[in-house]
Amino acid sequence: MGRAPALLSQFLSLSTTAAPHFRASMTCRLNPRKYLNGTAKIPPIRENLRCLCSVAVSEPATSEPSSTPVKKRVVSGVQPTGSIHLGNYLGAIKNWIDLQNAYDTLFFIVDLHAITLPYDTQQLSKATKETAAIYLACGVDPSKASVFVQSHVRAHVELMWLLSSTTPIGWLNRMIQFKEKSLKAGDENVGVALLTYPVLMASDILLYQSDYVPVGDDQKQHLELTRELAQRVNYLYGGRKWKKLGGRGGAIFKVPEPLIPPTGARVMSLTDGLSKMSKSAPSDQSRINLLDPKDVVNNKIKRCKTDSFPGLEFDNSERPECNNLLSIYQLVTGKTKQEVAEECRDMNWGTFKPVLTDALIAHLHPIQVCYGEIMSDASYLDSVLAEGARKAADVADNTLKNVYQAMGFLR
């Protein structure tokens, strides 16, 4: 995503109905001694996550009885690099609309992750505001969710440094995305931040004592690292050690679980059905941007890659582009997979492409209108981000205070 692997950035879309809940059984059976040399591993996130009608999570060590139920917390964010496209929207932001009704949610613009590779300093601030406006235009409600800019809460960077002191370098060297991007950029163009950004991502999550993190297939490895760090810090500094320093004892961090929807996990490129739709792809033809005008959407769908098979169908491995375009149609119309399959079974591409174009334009138009209204009222957007940062800082500062105390700092 963009110029650097984004925090939580390929976040997956739930259906347009009530958001289902998910859990992964990821019980950690760890050898404490291995924490001291950095060899401990948490079992990888399983592929066969089960869809459940309720979420089962162990209670945190510090929870106390309450007369009112406390919502589980979800955090997520997108980089302000490039244009927000259909993949970001269907894979993440659209999902947030359901999540904000069921969870305590924090959605932020991860601007600190946007500088891990060379970037345009003249555009960063502008792109950050535009991304925030898109969040709101898509339906994120600041009365239900905290919307803020990552760099406006300084605890993110402070906690990253503290976590860095306990992160074995071998854990970072195994990150696949670092290897891929560093090979493309070359050693002379790669800063330390590209290697250490997963620690910042862990800070983003652990800072808010998150219960769940929406993740895609390409982000599972990063969440595993976050979980490993949480367990490592809890072992090295939590429990009785923390209590002897005047703390409450117990776990310092919650160990977050992945939240993975059953459909819409990956929106693919319009020019290659085997590649993910991406901001960093050189051709703008490969993606539908949320702010693309009608004629541009029409032109991109007309020119998108298809195949020569008769009819249209889902889940044929020889027809990745067909599966992708039908999936997009399903997600923007809110129809079921079966309804789309029956509707489009006998269509050819000449018939289907105008239908898909009309559906995309109809879905994006109200978002574009709302976006324009929000961007025209700078004071409103500023107030939303300021209030979101204040609420986030209240939670973040408490976590940071506990970490400093548990690590032995003079406060």
279 has catalytic annotation:
yes
Which of 72, 276, 300, 353 is catalytic? The answer is: 276
With a CB cutoff of 8 Å and minimum separation 6, the contacts of 116 are 3, 4, 5, 191, 193, 194, 197
181 has catalytic annotation:
yes
Which of 129, 254, 279, 353 is catalytic? The answer is: 279
Which of 72, 94, 129, 181 is catalytic? The answer is: 181
With a CB cutoff of 8 Å and minimum separation 6, the contacts of 316 are 309, 322, 323
Say how far apart CA 307 and CA 348 lie, in whole Å.
Answer: 10
Find, among 1, 276, 284, the residue nearest to 116 by Cα.
1
276 has catalytic annotation:
yes
Say how far apart CA 269 and CA 86 lie, in whole Å.
Answer: 10
Residue 250, classified by CB atoms within 10 Å of its CB into exposed (0-12), middle (13-18) or buried (19+), is middle
Say how far apart CA 397 and CA 41 lie, in whole Å.
Answer: 29
Strand pairing category for 21-23 and 50-52 = antiparallel
Residue positions annotated with a catalytic role = 181, 276, 279
